[in-house]
Structure 1
Amino acid sequence: MWLFKYLFTNLYRALQSANGRRLLWLFFRYAGQPRHRLTTIPFLRYRFQVPDPLSFVWQFKEIFADESYRFLTDAAKPVIYDCGANIGTSLAYFRQTYPQARIVAFEADPDIGAVLARNLQTNGINDVEVINKAVWIHEQGLDFGSGEADGASMFSETGRRLVPSVRLRDYLLRETRIDMLKIDIEGAETEVLVDCSDALAHIRNLFIEYHAYIGHPQTLGLITRLLENQGFRYYIDSNQSRVRPLVNHRYRGNDLMDLQLNIFAYRP
């Protein structure tokens, strides 16, 4: 048994839960389909339009199989802020897991935002305040590049345009308590967090997807120091499993980004 677990850790782990087994089916059914084509995928009790089947399968793994966004709360109606809601997979999970929650979601990419709106309406995921603007450090707009599937960012060179923006700090200061703040904004996270550093005192749980782009400074230390100064405990995880990292400097052969990490922060 231990040899089996060592050799087939991911498969063994997936087989232990219903959503893990569903993940294996999704990989078998959709991971080999042509990339970056709008596809309708049924899963659980939902039916989502997805711009890229493989990216969606990885989303299902992180959100529903691994439950990376699950948090503990004693609030009857927890407050959840989802920055970088993409096509709504995380919103489906939040609404399903915390049915009484008040949810505020932000999505910068106008095209992905349209898919997000259709998915919420089609699947009856109600009472979500969706703001189709980029989370940023001011309200003057953000020079933003579209990307395939979930790769749109301020660093993308494809289809660049000025998109509307909001200053996240202003939204956070309007709340007296936020039970979960999810930040997956493709490279804008450091500047946004620094701008919000004086507005994090009432955040109970925080998820940050950290990105480091080639040719730009790495700022992981800045984020971890900020979390420490604000009284958070944190855990850092990576799904890269990069072999020979002192030789292999690229993240999955990515020509834009050389590091991606998941940071989970919580108040003890």
Structure 2
Amino acid sequence: MWVFRFLFTETVRLLRSAEGRRLVWLAFLYGDRPRNQPVDVKFGRYTFRVPDALSFVWQFREIFVDEFYHFSTKSAQPVIFDCGTNVGTSIAYFHQTYPNARIVAFEADEHISAILQNNLKQNQISNVEVITKAVWTNQEGIWFGSDQSDSASIFSETDRKLVPSIRLRDYLLREPRIDMLKMDIEGAETAVLTDCRDALAHVQTMFVEFHAYLNHPQTLAEVVQVLEESGFRYYINTSQYRHAPLINHRYRGNDSMDLQLNIFAYRN
């Protein structure tokens, strides 16, 4: 038995939990679907419209199985800022785990935001303010380009367009306390966090998906410096295993990005 568990550790871990078993079933149902084709996906008590099934399966694993966004709070009504909400999988998790939370959701893509709002309405998820603007350092708009099937980036040159923006710092300063700041904004995180460095004192926990793009500086040190100066402890991991990394420089064979990290920041 120990040999089986050694060889199939990941499968055993997944099958031990209800959400892990659900992930296996979702992967079976939707993992081989053609990319970039809308489909209705059922998970738990929710039914979501998603523009790409495989991307959703990965989201479900990170959010519901690995619980990247789980945090501790003593607040009866925690305040959550969700920057880069996509179609709302993260909102479903927050709503399920913190049913009294007040959530502010930022989504830059107008089409994705429409899907998000419909998903919230169809699943009767309330107390969510959706802002269809990019999180940025000013209100003058920001240029985004498409990048593969499930993301866009400020560094991509493909199908670039100017989208409306908000200055996140202004929104942070309006709140006396923010229990969770989730940030998945595809390359804009370093500039935004640097701009917010004097507005993070009342933020209790953070999740930042860090990206480094080819032919652009790697700015991880700047992000870590902001976190340290703001009094956070942090943990960093990556969702990939890279064989021979000194010669294999690409993130999952990506043509535009060479590093993606998950940064979990918290206060003692």
Q: In which range does the TM-score fall when normalised by the shorter chain?
A: over 0.9
TM-score (ref. length: structure 2): 0.97
Residue of structure 2 equivalent to 1:133 = 133
Residue of structure 2 equivalent to 1:78 = 78
Q: 1:161-208 CA distances to partner (integer Å, 9 max, x unpaired)?
A: 110000000000001100000000000000000000000000000000
For 1:45 and 1:110, locate their aligned partners in 2 and report how far apart those are by CA, in whole Å: 26
Does structure 2 retain, via aligned residues, the 8 Å contact 1:210–1:220? Answer: yes
Segments of 5+ residues of structure 2 without an aligned counterpart are none
**RMSD, aligned α-carbons:** 1.0
Q: 1:46-71 CA distances to partner (integer Å, 9 max, x unpaired)?
A: 11111110000000000111111000
Residue of structure 1 equivalent to 2:101 = 101
Q: Does 1:53 align with 2:37?
A: no
Which deviates more from structure 2 when the two are superposed, residues 76-85 or residues 120-129? 120-129
Residue of structure 1 equivalent to 2:29 = 29
Kindly state the Cα deviation for residue 155 of structure 1 after the two structures are TM-superposed.
1.8
For 2:22 and 2:124, locate their aligned partners in 1 and report how far apart those are by CA, in whole Å: 22
Paired positions, count: 268
AA aligned to 2:172 is L
Residue of structure 2 equivalent to 1:224 = 224
Kindly state the Cα deviation for residue 148 of structure 1 after the two structures are TM-superposed.
4.9
AA aligned to 1:250 is R
Paired residues for 1:240-259 under 5 Å: 240-259=240-259
Paired residues for 1:181-200 under 5 Å: 181-200=181-200
Residue of structure 2 equivalent to 1:9 = 9
Q: 1:121-144 CA distances to partner (integer Å, 9 max, x unpaired)?
A: 111111100000000000000011
Kindly state the Cα deviation for residue 3 of structure 1 after the two structures are TM-superposed.
3.0
AA aligned to 2:60 is F
For 1:184 and 1:140, locate their aligned partners in 2 and report how far apart those are by CA, in whole Å: 20
Change (3 A) 1:79 1:167: same
Which deviates more from structure 2 when the two are superposed, residues 244-253 or residues 205-214? 244-253
TM-score (ref. length: structure 1): 0.97
Change (3 A) 1:118 1:221: same
Residue of structure 2 equivalent to 1:92 = 92
For 2:152 and 2:62, locate their aligned partners in 1 and report how far apart those are by CA, in whole Å: 19
AA aligned to 1:15 is L
Q: Does 1:215 align with 2:215?
A: yes
AA aligned to 2:98 is Y
Identity of aligned residues (%): 64
Segments of 5+ residues of structure 1 without an aligned counterpart are none
Higher strand share: 2
The alignment partner of 2:246 has SS state of coil
Q: Where do 4+ consecutive residues of structure 1 move more than 3 Å?
A: 146-149
